[in-house]
Amino acid sequence: TADTTHLSRAALHFLARKPALKDVATRLGPFRRLASRFIAGESMEEALDAVKALGAKGLMASFDHLNEAVQTPEETRAEVREYQRLLHRIDAVGVRANVSLKLTQCGLLFDEALALENARTVVAEAAARDSFVRIDMEDSSVTQVTLDIVRQLRAEFGEPHVGAVLQSALRRTEQDAEDLCAQRIRIRLCKGAYLEKPDVAFPDKRDVDASFIRSMRVLLDSGVYHGIATHDERMIEATLDHATRRGLPRGAFEFQMLYGIRRDLQERLVREGHPVRIYVPYGRHWYPYFMRRLAERPANLGFLLRNLVRG
């Protein structure tokens, strides 16, 4: 029922913030096995292999080095170096891929100026290689500052090199979509993976979906190249319908999905001639990302529990 779904989601989001559980969980076999469905590996080279395999199927990628809520300047600098090396490797290997970056990975939770500076260094590297950095969106406490930083970087580096993410769960998103489109900022539209309060977000999934469709239409009507990020076939149908009504050619926007989710749908859209990009997370700090994937779909939790009981 909707209530038990809400309860298990809340419980998973709660557990996601427990470091002790993280230490145990990341060592447990069943946990690691289920996680490996969603995470392309712990090293950059494993992730590159996964992206080559996707490329062979006609899928593009966006790499994400997993880490968030980073607490020290030194660790944020290590993240910047990782992304510089990643952009270099993408070029050297010649895969069709860009990168996704979180501002809390760059220090946003303790020093906004440092987060901007770190993100700027990564976007500069991407711009020099004619690549692109998607600034992921995190919980609603950082929405405004995240969009402010994307606007700043967009002004410095130009439309093709940096873009934002909007979450249809948030009440503000339709307006943000209008504003960012007016500034020709590329947007990834998704539903939103964080647990939010009803004053900022729609509690009812039907409202999240309706908001997705309204914002999707704003995006498609803007003439800017955006990403429609969902595995929901109803959202995808609505997008294709709107594109047809507007006479948009294939390639006017891209679909985006997460590594390991609905591979059948990913491949079907490619066969139908649509650009599809897969979000490919890798690295050692996979616990919070993995917990958000579990919270999205309580069935994943059942699978995990059955495996834990069996040992």
Residues numbered 151-180 forming contacts with ligand FDA, rule: CB under 6 A: 165, 167
Distance, in Å, from the CA atom of 38 to the CA atom of 152, rounded to the nearest integer, reads 32
Q: Provide, rounded to whole angstroms, the least separation between the CB of residue 210 and ligand FDA.
A: 13
Choose one: 17-25, 115-123, 187-195, 243-251; the region binding ligand FDA (CB under 6 A): 187-195
Q: Provide, rounded to whole angstroms, the least separation between the CB of residue 188 and ligand FDA.
A: 6
CB neighbour list of residue 128: distance below 8 Å, 6 or more residues apart: none
Choose one: 46-54, 68-76, 282-290, 294-302; the region binding ligand FDA (CB under 6 A): 294-302
Residues numbered 94-123 forming contacts with ligand FDA, rule: CB under 6 A: none
Among 47, 51, 54, 229, binds ligand FDA (CB under 6 A): 229
Q: Is 187 in the site for ligand FDA (CB under 6 A)?
A: no
Under 8 Å between Cβ of 71 and 109:
yes
Q: Is 186 a residue of the active site?
A: no
Among 79, 125, 136, 176, binds ligand FDA (CB under 6 A): 136
Residues numbered 5-64 forming contacts with ligand FDA, rule: CB under 6 A: none
Q: Provide, rounded to whole angstroms, the least separation between the CB of residue 33 and ligand FDA.
A: 15
Q: Is 261 in the site for ligand FDA (CB under 6 A)?
A: yes
Q: Provide, rounded to whole angstroms, the least separation between the CB of residue 195 and ligand FDA.
A: 10
Catalytic residue among 120, 134, 136, 186: 136
Q: Is 77 a residue of the active site?
A: no
Choose one: 81-89, 120-128, 244-252, 292-300; the region binding ligand FDA (CB under 6 A): 292-300
Q: Is 300 in the site for ligand FDA (CB under 6 A)?
A: yes
CB neighbour list of residue 172: distance below 8 Å, 6 or more residues apart: 143, 200
Helix runs in 260-297, H state only: 263-271, 287-296
Burial of 267 (0-12, 13-18, 19+ CB in 10 A): middle
Catalytic residue among 120, 154, 188, 277: 188
Helix runs in the chain, H state only: 2-16, 19-25, 29-38, 44-56, 73-93, 112-128, 143-157, 173-182, 205-220, 233-245, 263-271, 287-296, 298-310
Which two structure tokens, joined as six digits, stand for 119?
A: 């993100």
Distance, in Å, from the CA atom of 77 to the CA atom of 85, rounded to the nearest integer, reads 12
Q: Is the dihedral of CA 184, 238, 189, 123 positive or negative?
A: negative
Q: Is 142 in the site for ligand FDA (CB under 6 A)?
A: no
Which of these, 18, 103, 38, 35, lies nearest to 278 by C-alpha position? 38
Q: Provide, rounded to whole angstroms, the least separation between the CB of residue 139 and ligand FDA.
A: 8
Chain residues in the site for ligand FDA (CB under 6 A): 136-137, 165, 167, 188, 190-194, 229-232, 256-258, 261-262, 279, 293, 296-297, 300
Active centre residues (catalytic): 136, 188
